[in-house]
């Protein structure tokens, strides 16, 4: 009898693929990293096969022990991956079967189509948890930097033009909010990743009495109540990559947030702003200009968003014209997904340590925040409180700003006569408007950068991220 190999070509095919074809079609060079999840899936499948009587207890034990031994070899770097065995699944199965005769029964009721969908969901589950944890740590770095500089005020900007004063912490907490939405998006996405496709076979399930619920439970595909979560359509299950697209889409949003944070830090570190100083370890010098200290880590955090966006578009493009069900095109999903998760995880980590190693130049911030023009809106509000319609108040303050600019003095040095010359509603109490401390205490609404509100928000986040 001809010896059968686990390679799917055996039996049907004569000559094997040429070297160039093997090179072109292989995925083991990148999907090997699914090995732990592939082993876990196979162990659960073996346990289930024994439970339904398709494996003996001894066979199950031999398979599980064989898989564990292979796992140890892979972990120690001794396992020899073979390109001609295409992918992680066939490499492991072939090696198992070489060692354990019962290995030839492991693929019962299973296809690489449901196997790879399973492995990717298992892998992604772990990665999403790690990413969520790292997002919380980045939030913590932002909150701590804000808390350490709780009294620091800076100008807030619109159009990169000075707008109104805000606490430095308020600016950082804006990113904490963005990251929190990313965090929650990830947990919602996790629910949809956490669904077991095994048992879908190649496309149409199996005639064998597979216990899908058992496999799902063994692999932790359960909801909050412990109910097994199973894909409900075998054709959808083997061709669906929504879970990958959704993860990459959330990652793209996250990368965009990180990129904006990076941009703010880059601006703040310029001589023009000069609000912060990044530790040397996160910057580089110039090979030509000795004075340079370039914010490379932040720049790359900004730059890496580009590849994350590109990966998302690549995945969507990969899927858009695919007829049902599995098509080999789907193999192209992995590098895009892996790269996305690797990139955002590294960026989140690096941004956290960059923030942990950034100091705030308190004096420079105070000098910038003391620009009285930042309180021009407060001046208009002053008139509103005296009963002046806002449009009219806005116009009056605009005239005062022009007047101050013309004579070349700051807004808070305009005399009472000059104020009253523009609008008779101005009284001696107008000087109060330029008291920055009072100005900040007037911003009392939820979400405003007022003294009490920012303290409250810092305290709220401190509790959440600690």
**Annotated catalytic residue: which of 159, 234, 249, 395?**
159
Closest separation between CB of residue 25 and ligand ARG, Å? 9
| Catalytic status, residue 159 | yes
Residue 365 in 3-state DSSP?
A: helix
Rounded distance, CA 331 to CA 321, Å?
15
Segment near ligand ARG (CB under 6 A); pick from 109-117, 158-166, 223-231, 273-281: 109-117
Q: Which of residues 311-340 bind ligand ARG (CB under 6 A)?
A: 326, 328, 330-331
Residue of 27, 139, 149, 249 that binds ligand ARG (CB under 6 A): 27
| Distant-in-sequence, close-in-space partners of 282: CB < 8 Å, separation ≥ 6 | 295, 296, 297, 298, 350, 353, 354, 357, 358
Burial 391-412 (b: 16+ CB within 10 A, else e): eebbbbbeebbebbeeeeeebb
Backbone angles phi, psi at 206, to 5 degrees: -155, 155
Task: Please tell me whether residue 368 binds ligand ARG under the rule CB under 6 A.
Answer: no
184 is catalytic: no
Per CB under 6 A, the list member of 64, 70, 92, 116 interacting with ligand ARG is: 116
Task: Identify which of residues 330 and 396 has a Cβ nearer to ligand ARG in the complex.
Answer: 330
Shortest reach from residue 332's CB to ligand ARG, in Å: 8
Q: At closest approach, how far in Å is the CB of 140 from ligand ARG?
A: 37
- The C-alpha angle with vertex 170 and arms to 164 and 172, in degrees rounded to 5, equals 120
For the window 234-273, what string marks contact with ligand ARG as x by the rule CB under 6 A? ----------------------------------------
For 394, half-sphere exposure in the C-beta direction (CA atoms, 13 angstrom radius) is 3
Q: Which two tokens stand for residue 234?
A: 């075998």
| CA–CA separation, 113 and 335 (whole Å) | 17
Residue 23 or 359: which CB sits closer to ligand ARG? Answer: 23
Q: CA–CA separation, 333 vs 335, rounded Å? A: 6
Instruction: Please say which residue, 113 or 200, places its beta carbon nearer to ligand ARG.
Output: 113
Q: Minimum distance from CB of 30 to ligand ARG (Å)? A: 9
Residue 421, judged by CB atoms within 10 A of its CB (0-12, 13-18, 19+), counts as middle
Q: Which of residues 30-69 bind ligand ARG (CB under 6 A)?
A: 31
Residue from 98, 92, 94 nearest 6 by CA: 94
Question: Which one from 286, 287, 370, 395 is the annotated catalytic residue?
Answer: 286
| Alpha carbon distance 272, 294 (integer Å) | 14
69 to 88: interface string for ligand ARG, x by CB under 6 A: ------------------x-
What minimum distance in Å lies between the beta carbon of 31 and ligand ARG? 6
Region binding ligand ARG by CB under 6 A among candidate stretches 71-79, 108-116, 133-141, 302-310: 108-116
**Catalytic residue annotation:** 159, 286
Site residues (CB under 6 A) for ligand ARG? Answer: 27, 31, 87, 112-113, 116, 326, 328, 330-331
């Amino acid at each position: 009898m001809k010896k059968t190999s686990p390679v799917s070509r055996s039996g049907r095919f004569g000559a094997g693929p040429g070297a160039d074809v093997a090179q072109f079609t292989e995925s083991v060079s990148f999907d090997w990293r699914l090995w732990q999840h592939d082993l876990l899936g196979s162990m659960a499948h073996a346990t289930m096969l024994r439970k339904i009587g398709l494996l003996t207890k001894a066979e199950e034990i031999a398979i599980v022990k064989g898989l564990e031994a292979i796992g140890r070899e892979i972990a120690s770097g001794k396992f020899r991956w073979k390109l001609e065995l295409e992918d992680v699944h066939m490499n492991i199965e072939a090696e198992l079967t070489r060692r354990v005769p019962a290995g030839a029964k492991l693929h019962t009721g299973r296809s690489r189509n449901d196997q790879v969908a399973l492995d990717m969901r298992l892998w992604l589950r772990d990665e999403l948890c790690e990413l969520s944890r790292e997002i919380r740590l980045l939030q913590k770095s932002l909150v701590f930097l804000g808390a350490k500089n709780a009294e620091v005020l800076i100008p807030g900007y619109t159009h990169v033009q000075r707008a109104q004063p805000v606490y430095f912490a308020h600016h950082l907490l804006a990113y904490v909010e963005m990251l929190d939405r990313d965090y929650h998006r990830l947990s919602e996405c996790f629910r949809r990743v956490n669904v077991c496709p095994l048992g879908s076979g190649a496309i149409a399930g199996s005639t064998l009495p597979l216990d899908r619920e058992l496999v799902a439970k063994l692999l932790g595909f359960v909801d909050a109540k412990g109910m097994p979560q199973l894909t409900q359509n075998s054709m959808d299950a083997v061709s669906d990559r929504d879970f990958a697209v959704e993860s990459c889409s959330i990652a793209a949003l996250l990368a965009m947030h990180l990129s904006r944070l990076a941009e703010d830090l880059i601006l703040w570190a310029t001589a023009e702003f000069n609000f912060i100083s990044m530790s040397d370890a996160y910057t580089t010098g110039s090979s030509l200009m000795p004075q340079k200290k370039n914010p490379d880590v932040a720049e790359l955090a900004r730059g890496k968003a580009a590849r994350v966006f590109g990966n998302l578009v690549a995945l969507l493009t990969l899927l858009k014209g695919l007829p049902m069900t599995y098509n080999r095109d789907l193999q192209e999903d992995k590098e895009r997904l892996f790269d996305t998760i690797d990139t955002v995880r590294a960026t989140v980590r690096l941004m956290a340590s960059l923030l942990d190693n950034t100091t705030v130049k308190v004096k420079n911030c105070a000098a910038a925040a003391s620009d009285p023009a930042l309180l021009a809106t407060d001046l208009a509000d002053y008139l509103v409180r005296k009963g002046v319609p806002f449009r009219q108040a806005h116009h009056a303050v605009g005239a005062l700003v022009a007047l101050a600019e013309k004579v070349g003095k700051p807004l808070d040095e305009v005399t009472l006569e000059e104020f009253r010359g523009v609008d008779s509603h101005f009284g001696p109490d107008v000087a109060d408007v330029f008291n920055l401390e009072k100005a900040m205490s007037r911003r009392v609404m939820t979400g405003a950068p007022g003294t009490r509100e920012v303290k409250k928000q810092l305290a709220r986040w401190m509790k959440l991220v600690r």
